[in-house]
Amino acid sequence: MNKNILQVIVENHGQLNASSLARLANEYPNAPVCIKWAKAPREIKKAKEAFNLVNAVRDDETGDYTREVFVCADNYEKICECLTGALGVEI
């Protein structure tokens, strides 16, 4: 069974790998995520923008790279609340 991307986010404590970021960007393109870069300061972007930016930086010559991408705590908590209320899932 394919899990809802929101369930995947909760199971991974807000951390997004490449495939979950791609799914989030496709299903919830305006969801805010935080990108932690190796050199540049952290950025909060919409999921679709973050997906495109991470892929663009990986292919450029700046020498920077993505250390991690995650859902910020306040949004993570809202996702948990929604899943608990809507699906009756214990988190």
Alpha carbons 28 and 34: distance in angstroms, whole number: 15
- Scan for tokens 């870069």, then name that residue: 37
Give the list of residues 6+ apart from residue 59 with CB closer than 8 angstroms, or none: none
Q: Whole-prediction pTM value?
A: 0.84
pLDDT per residue, tens digit, the chain (91 aa), is 467 899 999 999 999 999 999 999 999 999 999 999 998 899 999 999 999 999 888 767 777 889 999 999 999 999 988 888 765 655 5
The reported pLDDT for the residue numbered 26 is: 96
